[in-house]
Amino acid sequence: MTEYHVRIHELPPTDKPRERLRASGAAALADAELLAILLRVGIEGMNAIQLAQQLLVEFGGWNGLQRANFEELAQRRGMGEAKTAQLKAALEIGRRLLLAGGDERFQIRSPTDAAQLMQVEMGHLDQEQLRAICLDTKNRVQKIQTVYIGSLHTSMVRIGEIFKEPIRLNSASIIVVHNHPSGDPTPSPEDVVVTRQIIEAGQLLDIDVLDHLVIGSGRFVSMRERGLGFGKP
């Protein structure tokens, strides 16, 4: 039996994503419909909605599409560089909206909140990076600053660099985050030493170091919760 694939322009107006968005708002659309608007067209035998649904399943949803590298997506049948660029740009806009100014800024209430903010971007990096999340007095994100790229070693990391941006922003506190490219977020002895040094510097500068998260592949460790570098809770 020949499978029949309906093209988007052949759908009733009430089922077309752009028309539905205009009539009911973006919140009314399913994930596949939103992605289909970005893709615009499908491929032979598959309309844009069907292609979008397949991509979401294949890559494990929005987080998977965010983690996928540009080349991997661009080589996927039905994508190419133009569609991949549009998708990556849209996902980055969504991420930056979490960091929007004013009262809408993302508020961190727990280590999990901080990890979820950083996991998608840092969980797949092939090189170690150290970042600082700058927070105001209500633990709202002011800025995320990449401080260092390379192996986290006490002889290489300049602790003062971590606090340059928090001082400029008059941050009340920071959360330090770094990744383990191996995928295993277990803190190393070197991680503990660096954490102690960062905490000591923060005390001198009157900037609280709320936590140091180690990001792995789909997992993270809160060094404060483990009592590593922070002392036993």
* Domains of the chain from N-terminus onward: 8-97 (1.10.150), 102-226 (3.40.140.10)
CA pair distance 9, 25, nearest whole angstrom: 20
Overall average pLDDT of the 27-38 stretch: 84
CA pair distance 55, 7, nearest whole angstrom: 17
Quick check: 218 pLDDT over 90?
no
pLDDT confidence of residue 14: 45
Closest by CA position to 196, among listed 161, 154, 133: 154
Residue 223 contacts residue 192 (beta carbons within 8 Å): yes
Which pLDDT band holds residue 13 (cuts at 50, 70, 90)?
Answer: very low
Higher pLDDT, 105 or 10: 105
The half-sphere exposure of 64 on its side-chain side, counting CA atoms within 13 A, is: 8
Q: Write b or e for each residue in 13-33: b if 16 or more Cβ atoms lie within 10 A of its Cβ, otherwise e.
A: eeebbeebbeeeeeeebeebb
Positive or negative, the CA dihedral 223, 227, 231, 233 is positive
pLDDT confidence of residue 150: 74
Strands 173-179 and 208-215: parallel
Quick check: 187 pLDDT over 90?
yes
Q: Write b or e for each residue in 57-95: b if 16 or more Cβ atoms lie within 10 A of its Cβ, otherwise e.
A: eebeebeebbbbeeeebbebebbeeebbeebbebbeeee
Quick check: 1 pLDDT over 50?
no
Q: What is the pLDDT of residues 125-172, one digit of tens each?
A: 888 899 999 999 999 999 999 988 876 554 467 888 899 999 999 999
Overall average pLDDT of the 103-130 stretch: 83
Please measure the distance between the N-terminal and C-terminal CA atoms of the chain and give it in whole angstroms: 66
